[in-house]
Amino acid sequence: DAKTTQPNSMESNEEEPVHLPCNHSTISGTDYIHWYRQLPSQGPEYVIHGLTSNVNNRMASLAIAEDRKSSTLILHRATLRDAAVYYCILRDVSGGSNYKLTFGKGTLLTVNP
Amino acid sequence: DTGVSQNPRHKITKRGQNVTFRCDPISEHNRLYWYRQTLGQGPEFLTYFQNEAQLEKSRLLSDRFSAERPKGSFSTLEIQRTEQGDSAMYLCASSLTTGMTGAFFGQGTRLTVV
């Protein structure tokens, strides 16, 4: 599986934007970029995904570099409830809609009040 | 609550005992996954089902582990002769076969083997 690299941790202040980076230099043409987050004592939660174009949903925005070798998850206004581990995952869809996901260690986001 | 449900939430067992966990997926989801997560690590894939068929098993799933999904609805994960190294959070997820809605995870079952 193609690998992703994320910072171990990041800090943000409440109500400020947060940009969480992810490098995936070995991404293939059939890899979608997925983001999940895991709040303390909870299972992972789907955040957003994209292939080539930037994507927006109610939770976040995903900015994908033109060469697709990196991406950035953007939380527009961080709240205390956004404190979590954020995982950037490449999902190969060439074999069908299979959510056999390979999680790394992710980025631990701390949000300061 | 229409999310993925896992029971029990916590289980403490003595080494050598057998344990069984249950997962109830979102009702219209035909794919079901089991993951294991140890402290400080991301979840690791164990196995997945499409309806009642178990389509893939990770090398992490030793012969002491068995998973079933009778009738393609709920699933059980059994660990026989538990070892201390089995202590972890066991997560279940479900998804649709088609579309790109993401996988939905339950809150997990935390197993402690003493």
User: CB A96 to CB B97 under 8 A?
Assistant: yes
Considering only CB atoms, B42 lies closest to which of A46, A96, A106, namely A106
List chain A residues with pLDDT less than 50.
none
**pLDDT of the residue at B22:** 98
With cut-offs at 50, 70 and 90, classify the pLDDT of residue B20: very high
With cut-offs at 50, 70 and 90, classify the pLDDT of residue B96: confident
> With a CB-CB cutoff of 8 Å, which residues 25-44 of chain A face chain B?
32, 34, 36, 41-44
User: Residue B77 contacts by C-beta under 8 Å, 6 or more apart in sequence?
Assistant: B20, B21, B23, B34, B46, B65, B66, B67, B90, B92
User: CB B100 to CB A100 under 8 A?
Assistant: no
User: CB B45 to CB A100 under 8 A?
Assistant: yes
Distance in Å, alpha carbon of B88 to nearest chain A alpha carbon: 12
The first and second tokens of residue B99, run together, are 């579309």
Nearest to A85 by CA among A36, A22, A33: A36
The first and second tokens of residue B108, run together, are 């997990």
**pLDDT of the residue at B98:** 64
User: CB A101 to CB B43 under 8 A?
Assistant: yes
The verdict on A104 touching B (C-beta cutoff 8 Å) is: yes
